[in-house]
């Protein structure tokens, strides 16, 4: 299957085939090394593929040439009757929602094999004012998870026969964010909330939304729930900073839900009792309290002598919740380091308001939050500047670039993975046009002025000229990218690396910049997902080896 990108698959219940999303094939003669192209991704379409046939025979189900930047996805309902089409225009949590009753198609999907027409969709939601995710349906009565007038999300219901009459099933919570909802055991829902960046699991009544049970889980993250509506058993994936991974089997067919461990990942040599996790709330520049997790060995004296790795992201409504990392446990165990995660604004940790507080004209809040977290780690005795390494990837790579530009004095090392670093031109390459919902676009004058203030590529300055009274320079920095990254194309990293090299070094006869700034370019790899284990190990060894060398840290057995 070619040209498939930003797509899942959804099988029809007769198992004859599946729906999927794809982009048009390159024009004849355009022999591109897939993954190295930089042209914008446009005109995504929805297709149906029959098993045992060539892709050229697939049915085109939906296209919209008047809106080439839209994304499309199709999903079959649990009863197999409806195809639900969701249409997005950016990375904002908003979508249109159409449906097609495929059970009423006269000749089924086969009847469209030799037709030019698209499937007969009915438009239920035809504006981009909120997000709608189908949870369940009983005939024409549909239940949705939405943020319509509810930045922390709620569950609503509508009958397709009365599309203007929507009712709330689970109202928006005052503080906690409703993360996911799954229908199971015919008439029940498993819902997960995010409460101060920690997951809470509940069982509720599908019809009324009323709370039936709290499910017992440790402090950590629910990373997946696998459940079918007709089954009484659900499987729940769980992880935390000190839990490599557990899959719980939850039986909802009993009076009280029965949770037991179905599978558990064991890491040889890892003893969780040797470590502790603390959560602190750090005041940012404007006084907003920013949550931060701190992971380290127990009983460490906070005398400022310890290496510390501070990680952040802060964008696109994405929440950084507790997850296990072997490589970072190695840092705490064998380098005596603290590993910290700052839940800065721009993420989804407290819902859409928290996201918007770190986007567009307010993007500087992300950098202020991260800098405040770093300053806290120093003032509280966890580390000192020359022992503090910062790390982030993608939008988090932008975070690192902006922070070393703005506060080169604060950090002892920086690791920026596949970063968005040219904020004036990002929208011109592959899927960058979708990010304007978080960043803005330099083609608009007002938004250009937001971007030029912090764009890492355009704000490289010589620290020793800005502060002549201090012997300042950029911290040791590793910029990482990959030659087949078609999400954040490598030109971002390469241009920033070249600009740092010129401004700080080659444009001067004798530069005070002696700290190394290096690029690491992975070959035959992309933005990160799906990377082979060997490549992951090699990259982790390189970046944390660089960190250890730059921070002057020795290996502890």
Contact 518, 479 (CB under 8 A): yes
In terms of residue numbers, what domain contains 523? Answer: 272-551
- Longest Cα–Cα distance of the chain, Å, equals 81
Q: Is the pLDDT of residue 91 over 90?
A: yes
Go through 38-59 and write b for each residue having 16 or more CB atoms within 10 A of its CB, e for each that does not.
Answer: eebbebbbbbbbbeeeeeeebb
Whole-number average pLDDT of the chain: 96
pLDDT score at 45? 97
pLDDT digits (tens, 9 = 90+) for 171-203: 999 999 999 999 999 999 999 999 999 999 999
pLDDT score at 35? 78
Do 125 and 139 lie in one domain? The reply is: no
Do 295 and 330 lie in one domain? The reply is: yes
Is there a domain that residue 556 lies in?
no
DSSP output for 18-39? EEEEEPPPPPTT----TT---S
Beta strands 338-342 and 59-62, pairing class: unpaired
pLDDT score at 32? 72
Query: Which of 129, 144, 179 is where one domain is finished?
Result: 129
Helix (H) or strand (E) holding 296: strand 289-297
Cα separation of 125 and 235, whole Å?
A: 32
Do 191 and 309 lie in one domain? The reply is: no
Query: Which of 76, 110, 129 is where one domain is finished?
Result: 129
Residues 6+ apart with CB under 8 A from 533: none
The structure's pTM equals 0.95
pLDDT digits (tens, 9 = 90+) for 494-519: 999 999 999 999 999 999 999 999 99
Mean pLDDT of 103-116: 88
CATH number at residue 151: 2.130.10.120
Tokens of 115: 């037709």
pLDDT digits (tens, 9 = 90+) for 469-499: 999 999 999 999 999 988 999 999 999 999 9
Is there a domain that residue 557 lies in?
no
pLDDT score at 236? 97
Task: List, in sequence order, the alpha helices (H) in 190-349.
Answer: 326-334
The percentage of residues in the chain with a pLDDT greater than 70, rounded to a whole number, is 99
**Strands ordered across the beta sheet of 141-146:** 132-138, 141-146, 154-159, 166-170
Do 260 and 174 lie in one domain? The reply is: yes
Q: Is the pLDDT of residue 464 over 90?
A: yes
Do 503 and 457 lie in one domain? The reply is: yes
Q: How many Cα atoms within 13 Å fall on the side-chain side of residue 391?
A: 16
Q: Would you name the residues annotated as active-site residues?
A: 394, 485, 527
Is there a domain that residue 100 lies in?
yes
Do 72 and 191 lie in one domain? The reply is: no
Do 283 and 216 lie in one domain? The reply is: no
Contact 515, 277 (CB under 8 A): no
Mean pLDDT of 273-293: 98
Q: Which residues pair with 18 in a beta bridge?
A: 11, 49
pLDDT score at 323? 97
Do 401 and 454 lie in one domain? The reply is: yes
Do 417 and 390 lie in one domain? The reply is: yes
Is there a domain that residue 196 lies in?
yes
Contact 513, 500 (CB under 8 A): no
Burial class (CB in 10 A: 0-12, 13-18, 19+), 111: exposed
pLDDT score at 419? 97
CATH number at residue 382: 3.40.50.1820
Do 410 and 524 lie in one domain? The reply is: yes
Cα separation of 416 and 410, whole Å?
A: 16
Is there a domain that residue 144 lies in?
yes
Is there a domain that residue 200 lies in?
yes
- Phi, psi dihedrals of residue 343, rounded to the nearest 5°: -90, 70
Q: Is the pLDDT of residue 406 over 70?
A: yes
Domain count, the chain: 3
Cα separation of 367 and 237, whole Å?
A: 32
Tokens of 383: 């580390």
pLDDT score at 117? 86
Q: Is the pLDDT of residue 392 over 80?
A: yes
Do 201 and 279 lie in one domain? The reply is: no
Query: Which of 99, 129, 159 is where one domain is finished?
Result: 129
Cα separation of 173 and 152, whole Å?
A: 7
Measured in whole angstroms, the distance separating CA 277 from the mean position of its chain's CA atoms is: 23
Residue 369: helix, strand or coil by DSSP? helix
Is there a domain that residue 251 lies in?
yes
End-to-end CA distance of the chain: 49
Mean pLDDT of 165-175: 97
Helix (H) or strand (E) holding 373: helix 364-379
Mean pLDDT of 371-398: 98
pLDDT score at 484? 92
pLDDT score at 298? 96
pLDDT digits (tens, 9 = 90+) for 425-440: 999 999 999 999 999 9
Is there a domain that residue 532 lies in?
yes
Measured in whole angstroms, the distance separating CA 207 from the mean position of its chain's CA atoms is: 31
Do 341 and 365 lie in one domain? The reply is: yes
pLDDT digits (tens, 9 = 90+) for 15-71: 999 999 999 988 776 667 777 878 889 999 999 999 999 999 999 999 999 999 999
Residue 226: helix, strand or coil by DSSP? strand
């Amino acid at each position: 299957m070619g040209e498939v990108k930003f797509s899942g698959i959804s099988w029809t219940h007769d198992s004859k085939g599946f729906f999927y999303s794809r982009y048009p094939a390159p024009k004849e003669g355009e022999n591109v090394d897939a993954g190295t192209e930089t042209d914008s991704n446009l005109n995504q379409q929805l297709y149906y593929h029959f098993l045992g046939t060539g892709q050229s025979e697939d049915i085109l189900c939906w296209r919209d040439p008047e809106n080439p930047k839209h994304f499309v996805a199709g999903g079959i309902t649990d009863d197999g009757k409806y195809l639900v089409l969701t249409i997005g225009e950016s990375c904002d949590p908003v979508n249109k929602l159409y449906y097609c009753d495929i059970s009423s198609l006269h000749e089924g999907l086969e009847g469209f094999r030799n037709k030019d027409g698209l499937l007969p969709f009915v438009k239920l939601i035809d504006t981009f004012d909120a997000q709608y995710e189908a949870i369940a349906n009983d005939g024409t009565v549909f239940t949705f998870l939405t943020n319509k007038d509810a930045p922390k999300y709620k569950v609503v219901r509508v009958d397709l026969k009365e599309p203007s009459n929507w009712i709330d099933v689970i109202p928006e919570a005052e503080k906690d964010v409703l993360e996911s909802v799954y229908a199971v055991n015919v008439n029940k829902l498993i819902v997960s909330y995010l409460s101060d960046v920690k997951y809470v699991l509940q069982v509720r009544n599908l019809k009324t939304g009323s709370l039936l049970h709290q499910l017992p889980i440790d402090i950590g993250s629910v990373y997946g729930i696998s459940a079918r509506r007709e089954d009484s058993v659900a499987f729940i994936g769980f992880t935390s900073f000190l839990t490599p991974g557990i899959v719980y089997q939850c039986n909802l067919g009993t009076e009280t839900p029965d949770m037991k461990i179905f599978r558990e990942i064991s890491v040889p040599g890892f003893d969780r009792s040797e470590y502790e996790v603390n959560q602190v709330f750090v005041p940012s520049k404007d006084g907003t309290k920013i949550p931060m997790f701190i992971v380290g060995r127990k009983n460490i004296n906070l005398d400022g002598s310890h290496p510390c790795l501070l990680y952040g992201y802060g964008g696109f409504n994405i929440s950084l919740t507790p997850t296990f990392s072997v490589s970072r446990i190695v840092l705490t165990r064998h380098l005596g380091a603290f590993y910290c995660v700052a839940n800065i604004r721009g993420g989804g940790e407290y819902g859409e308001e928290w996201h918007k507080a770190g986007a567009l004209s307010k993007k500087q809040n992300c950098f202020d939050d991260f800098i405040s977290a770093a300053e806290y780690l120093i003032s509280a005795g966890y580390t000192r500047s020359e022992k503090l390494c910062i790390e982030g990837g993608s939008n988090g790579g932008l975070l690192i670039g902006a922070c070393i530009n703005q506060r080169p004095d604060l950090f002892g090392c920086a690791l920026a993975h596949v970063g968005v670093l040219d904020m004036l031109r990002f929208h011109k390459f592959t899927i960058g046009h979708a990010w304007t919902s978080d960043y803005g676009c330099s083609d608009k004058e007002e938004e250009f002025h937001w971007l030029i203030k912090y764009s890492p590529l355009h704000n490289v300055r010589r620290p020793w000229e800005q502060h002549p009274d201090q012997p300042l320079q950029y911290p040791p920095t590793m910029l990482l990218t990959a030659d087949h990254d078609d999400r954040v194309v490598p030109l971002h990293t390469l241009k920033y690396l070249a600009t740092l090299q010129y401004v700080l070094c080659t444009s001067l006869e004798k530069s005070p910049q002696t700290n190394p700034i290096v690029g690491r370019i992975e070959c035959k790899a992309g933005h990160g997902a799906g990377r082979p284990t060997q490549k992951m190990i090699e990259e982790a060894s390189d970046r944390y080896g660089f960190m250890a060398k730059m921070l002057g840290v020795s290996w502890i057995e």
